[in-house]
Amino acid sequence: MRLRFPLVFLLMICLWGFPVTTGAVEVPVLPVPEEAKAYIPPGDALPNVTARSAVVMEASTGHILYQRAMDRPGFPASTTKMMTLLVALERGNPEDIVTVSAEAADTEGSTVWLEAGERIRLRDLLYGLMLVSGNDAAVAIAEHIAGSTGAFARLMTEKARAIGAADTFFTNPSGLPDARHITTAHDLARIAAYGFQQPVFGDIVRTRERRISNGKPPFFRDLESENMLLWIYDGANGVKTGYTDEAGRCLVSAAKRDGCQLIAVVLDSVYMWNDSIALLDYGFQRVRRRTLLEAGQRISELKVLQGWQDSVPLEAAVQLAVPDFAGNAPACELRLEVPDQLTAPVREGDVVGRAVACFQGRPVAAIDVKAARTVEKKSLLALLWQFVRQILPGK
């Protein structure tokens, strides 16, 4: 005991002076409520649509609420420009000044009336691209970002693959007809859903009207979105129209209600506005928002080393809510990602991990988890006395 105690005392000093590091663990918390699985929508009639291919999808989870031949290959027409916008936002600066080439100015089809040699902000080109479907804007953007439309189209296809749109192949940034330029309704829904993760994408596609400056000499031009749903459908916030003789009437539409973002796609539709409204109505009947955690809700406890308390309660920093689907659709599960233990001191409000909502194993939403109280660190003397009490006989 004469030699053992000084060694133990030295060890106590080392432990007191250095924090214990721990790895993160992923622990399931809170079971899925039974009422979530029993959700029954108010109506059960399938939407009556005229499109050859159609789908309505919840954006954050990718859950399909209705589809008709959603994986059938088809021509996207100007719905292509969603990917043109995404690549431009990720690889360009909206404040860049773009010099318009003669090739861009002479592009056939819908136009922003660009002139060869004029200089215009990339941001204005992006609004011209999406609101009035300017093919000239698409070419000017592609040449500015990648040097040529072919090189830009390769970037578009690479991005499509990266986000899971594996049945899509782009040959140009505008959607003008090409036998190799194909996609599916499902892939277009995926592309739009990815776009809504980028704030500027959402800002542009929900814009009804925009004034841009272009021309030589510069003049103001007022643009008005061709997407009629932005005016007539409750919650509409995007996305893009399209038409060619080969593709027929196409529309990628979007709407958000009560925190639920839906994407609807129709390809080769006779009545694309009616079809899209029917799809969105059907979708909103089958999705609702469910709160998994309220702000400040206690959700677990963590062990605390070297503290005056042995554990600290954890609480949600903000509310966590997820979409919930009708019928037998899977429900989101809640997982807690925190260390297996903490070392004092721990301050009230310290972020110690996060709560993650997962749909079929894929994260769809997350919030911070924080300590709900302060746990002060014990002094060296207190730690030593605690150790002595543990080793003394009868203690």
pLDDT at 329: 86
Task: Supply 267's token pair.
Answer: 């390809």
Q: What is the mean pLDDT of the chain?
A: 88
Please name the residues in contact with 233: beta carbons below 8 A apart, sequence gap of 6 or more: 253, 255, 277, 280
Q: Which residue has the tokens 């080393």?
A: 305
Closest CA to 215 of 114, 110, 105, 107: 114
Ramachandran assignment for 216, one of left (phi > 0), alpha (psi -120 to 50 degrees), beta (any other): beta
Q: In this structure, what DSSP letter does residue 1 have?
A: -
| Mean pLDDT, rounded, for 60-71 | 96
Q: Which residue has the tokens 């663990």?
A: 25
CATH number of 4-37+291-391: 2.60.410.10
% pLDDT > 90, the chain: 77
Give residue limits of the domains in the chain. 4-37+291-391, 53-285
pLDDT in tens, 116-145: 999 999 999 999 999 999 999 999 999 999
Tell me the whole-structure pTM to 2 decimals. 0.85
CB 75 within 8 A of CB 174: no
The CATH fold of domain 53-285: Beta-lactamase (3.40.710)
Does the structure show a pLDDT above 90 at 12? Answer: no
Please name the residues in contact with 323: beta carbons below 8 A apart, sequence gap of 6 or more: 58, 60, 61, 63, 259, 260, 287, 288, 289, 290, 332
Closest CA to 191 of 151, 159, 228: 159
pLDDT at 121: 95
CB 175 within 8 A of CB 118: no
pLDDT at 11: 47
Residues designated as active site: 78, 81, 133
Task: Supply 235's token pair.
Answer: 């919650």
pLDDT at 18: 39
pLDDT in tens, 42-54: 566 789 999 999 9
